[in-house]
Structure 1
Amino acid sequence: MKLNKLYYLLLLAVITSFSSCEDDDDLYPQLGEDPRNINEILAETADVSVLYQSLVEAEMDSILRETSTYTVFAPRNAAFDQADLSGLDEEEMENLLSNHVLSTVTADFASTLSTGYRPTMATGPNGNFLSLYINTEGETTLNGEVSIVNESSNKGATNGVLHVVDGILTPPAILDHVEANNQFSTFMEAVELAGLTEMLSVTEVTDAENPDYPLTVFAPTNAAFENFLGDLNGAFGWTTLADIPTDVLRSVLEQHVIAGSNLLSAETFGTEQTPVSGEVFSINAEGVVSDASYTDGNVTIEDIQATNGVIHGVDKVILPDAVFQSILDETLNLKERIEDRGYTSFIAAAEKAGLMETLESEELTAFIPSNAAFDSFLSVIENFESLEDFETPEEIELLKSVLEYHLYEGRLMSSSLTDGPLTTVQGDELTFDTATGRITPSYEFAPKATLETTNIGASNGVIHQISNVLVSAEDAGALGYPVPDTGAPEFALPVYYDAVESGFQDTWDGWGGTYTYNSTENVSNGNNAIKLEYEAGSYGALQIGGASPVPDISSYSTFHFSAYGAAGSGTTNVLVSLCDCDAGVEIQVVEGEWNTYSIPISSFTDTSLGAIRFKNNEDAASTIYLDDIGFDLQAPAAPSFALPIYFDEGAESGFNDTWDGWGGTYTWASTEQVQDGTTAVKLEYDADSYGALQIGGADPVPDLSGYSTFNFSAYGAPGSGTKTLLVSLCGCDAGVEVQVVEGEWTDYSLPLSSFTDTSLGEIRIKNNVSDSYTIYVDNIGFN
């Protein structure tokens, strides 16, 4: 039985060998009775002798004698005669020759070639095989410029097939591949117009030290550019690439180029990539490309390998956010743009107030409060708790007035905003301070707002996002906006309120300026304030003469006053002394606003009270106003919180003040800057650490479901500028951003609905920028 089985297997092998010979004869009629391999055909074909000789000199001819299957595109001698290859070294010459050889499974006859990319045996970055672009539409071309010589093609060999071609297949760079494929002709035009040909031509040979080598390029197809131009035509009237400003076109193309990496599709799918533009886009595992726009694209051609990088074809122009936003600016009206940006509270209010048509048709500048700002506003006013509470015609008219106070007739970009008043559509004025980006409403007790995001364009105007709802004096009463107590401060030892008091002398004006004790130009409380006009270069000082007998201030804890910087004065450094000397404390007076200063007596090294001195501590001329001067201002009671967290010296309600977080130094009982009481938390954040103060969770953790707002106050120390904090209630980064302003206390009331996580693992106040700076925090609690 075993013998019979072996006999049949041998018989089958013989039959198969005869069958295979017949198949070879059918497939390779040129083999004839004397079949030869590709190397032998090259050696005997006079028209490709230069190629053959080059292969022999490079010791590559033996490859084409192997039993593997190859497709060889052999340049005729005339092609070598027309090319100058003298500058190539040995390695480069071998790579050029290898670029004419495909390692295949079956022989590629001219009739079986199809349009697309095939790997040659030449290599590029990371040893990847270079791509050959075969185009069979019409006359078959290779890499866009070399054609098969018809009468010399399909030379069958025992190890493949040979085609004589009319040109040399130089290893292609990125631009060569782009130019070869007509699907990328618009991209090629765009590259030339934007001046990016040099970037895409960087090669290892000439720029080995260039960090841009190699490149990964996502090349949009012509259809992708056609769609992009359609969007641009609708927005700007641009119909051709030449119509697009060069800087805009360049920024778009830089969104498609990744420098320093040869990233194949296997390395890019399922990742985020950072192109030359610096703006990240993502590619999911299926090759779907997501950019700043609302429309995704797809990688349609993968891994076109060039000598200086790799190309992936995409069916969409990948847009940077600025370009996409500019298209929206021109195509969406204000109503649509406000909706697009997610200002749902403003839109709901506008719809209720009947302002939708106005937002759609009229040219306006809209100062739009964030949704969180609306929540805070509704939690403060006493007559309305929600937008639904505006019911009667009179109340809806009031809501319309509130919104119109945020609108200006005409288009004002941020660069067009100027210091001073701006009349709104409602009729009342807003006052701008462009240096700080602050907007002051006409109702003096309502909070100021800060410009947070500017120049959000629309087809009929522009939007600027602001941090608070603005309240006019006209609307405040009907809204039930609370009025604080603004009576005269109560001092244990008053020095000035409308006039110098308690035996102090106002007759000694000091030096280096002019001092008016009863100015009515800028007053914090009462009717008068002291006006100080410092002269340049004199380091002048106002001196309030000591009383007789000199009061003993050893029993007092703090020295208080309010100060205001006149327009144009900038920030004035003032040295405050309680002696007829320069032993004092320096403070900064901020232009355009009253600030209250509370300085611990312990901060003064000399309290002899020969005089109270306010000295200009710089040589520039400036004007300031002083009011409400006295010792030991009766501290107000702790703020009334339903759940207090911090007021004077430590955490409350079972919270833990011993965990200082990271990235800085935290002083729980600082007396340097205090809003209420005697102490505040001092936070000195380190640079580049994104440090955070953390107040540890109480045990048991309070249930916040019965509270509506998280409240605290913050003050930016001199030099801190305007900085961003991330406030969270979870010991995590799921929080709300606020801005702390240099030189003033700001109260924050953050709706708990603004926080996505209120688990209260701990309360975190985190530095959300990389700078080092110092702030103070006071009066923390829930209501």
Structure 2
Amino acid sequence: MKKFGIYFLAFISSLFLFVSCSNDDDNDIIDEPTLKTIVETAQDTDILSSLVAALVKADENADSDLVGALSGEGTFTVFAPTNGAFTALLASLDDFDSLSDFNTPEKREILATILKYHVVVGAAATSSSLTYGQEFTTLQGEKITVRIDGDVYIQDPTDTDAKVGPADVLASNGIVHVIDKVLVPQEVLDALNPEPMPNIVELAMDTDFLSLLVGALVQADAGLVDLLQTDGPFTVFAPTDTAFAALLDALGDDYNSLADFDTPEEKALLAQILKYHVVAGTAAYSTDLSDGQMVETAQGESVTVSLTGGVFIQDKTDVDAAVAPADIAASNGVVHVIDKVLLPQEALDALMPPTPNIVELAMDTDFLTLLVGALVQADAGLVALLQTDGPFTVFAPTDTAFAALLDALGDDYNSLADFDTPEEKALLAQILKYHVVAGAAAYSTDLSDGQMVETAQGESVTVSLTGGVFIQDKTDVDAAVAPADIAASNGVVHIIDKVLLPQEALDALMPPTPNIVELAMDTDFLSLLVGALVQADAGLVALLQTDGPFTVFAPTDTAFAALLDALGDDYNSLADFDTPEEKALLAQILKYHVVAGAAAYSTDLSDGQMVETAQGESVTVSLTGGVFIQDKTDVDAAVAPADIAASNGVVHIIDKVLLPQEALTALGH
């Protein structure tokens, strides 16, 4: 039972009890509650029985009187470990199964030292008065530190903080805060662990996965082994064997092992790399680091700390080193294990081949051979331009993309060599410039949806980020970017699966899109539709060649044949619509297939939508099981194929001639 809690409540309650202590009715005196001393409070609290026993055990030494001191008049703050805390302490110590094992004057002196480390003399510090980072000098002489993180914690020199709770137990001579761990001062840690802490070199030599770091220190032959055994203090970022193996692999065949750093120059370079892992003059634990902090190394260049998602160390490369584990204490500093060898700029300049420029990168990439060929064939100084400082952003079409363009251009362009006249070379140069953005190295993360980017050709491309990264040119087909962000010394390259075409190139290379009449005339199975437009003699041929826009539901020859068959012997061919009245009726039927003022693609249609035609009556859209157009008969027309673009609208092929009520009435149906 937590008697101190009951006692504390009783103390609060007693403030409200008034007792008359005088026969004088005019004088009421409030009895002051009598608080117990810290020792008495602990004696009355079951969970502090081990603390009381420890005090008594320590006082078996003739020169110790902790019970007497904590029963005296002084003002104390006592951090009181629970029985469980003492049990955990004893379990962690060799040869100490119970407090009775403190059975010599020397051992009891250690126990007294521990207990004094829980006492602050001269202050009764309430929990509400404690602040983060606040330090108290204890009766033992060393300091303890307050940490506040939701709860209140007390830090000693070990790795585990003591949690306070309950707090603020009042006593006549101070205040008690119950804690869940026995605090241990450095003096006791040193006494209980007589083996000296290893220095940084000894620590590395005793760690299996740091054998290559030790080997590198020896191979460099620059006094680093001796240096890292001096007093320091040092902070060392220690790459694992795996990290060194990855570095050697990246360096290629010239460096199969650390022994290949064998010339004076290479040994000196290895020494500089190792110094880049050492911070002299401080033992910086992970809690001392801050996000974005720049730390100067013994090599002279700085590393940068990143605390986003963990602890990382940034060097002069694009890959950060992850710290794990951190805070390995040595006698002369601290070691943080990292998963990568850090490289200063000095090492990158000496070891790593220079980043290729854009032309060199393209020449080294198998699937960009046609791009390189196009740059040469254009003969417009583009090869030289893309080797200057830039910066440039280049959208680089693959060989497959160029092959698709040549195929689309037809027999006149079987290869890039067919761009052989001055005019064609100039056009090819303009197409290539349409893939170049001058003055910026725009990585994919710099692009935004809908962004318009002006190219070196003068026209702009548009960025689309829906479902990936796409570049839109002046055609209807976007170029997909994959892979993106290939760095070059003078910019960045994004691989694309299509040759981008500016309007200038479309005008020069691509035949104009036919209008609706031209499209029908070029389509074999629409010959009867063309014949009907001519036979109606109502200006429909001329109308459907104007700007529009129009939507035309175009019946196939089979559809017209079926209509003629249904009309009987009077209509064996369209030529049988030969009277003025029949020509007018045929014109109305044809107008029933035309929607004026809109180019309605299938994606613009909705189920049940009624669409007014140029004839005046409406057709109805049905999207059940496909795209169908309903006229005034009981049979719907199926649309297939849909969405054939024309310069002045769109054509949907249908398998039936649509009939308005006007036609049904005239034809006797």
Highest Rg: 1 or 2? 2
Category of TM-score, reference length = shorter chain: 0.3 to 0.5
TM-score normalised according to structure 2 size: 0.34
TM-score normalised according to structure 1 size: 0.29
Quick check: which one's helix share is greater?
Answer: 2
Quick check: which one's strand share is greater?
Answer: 1
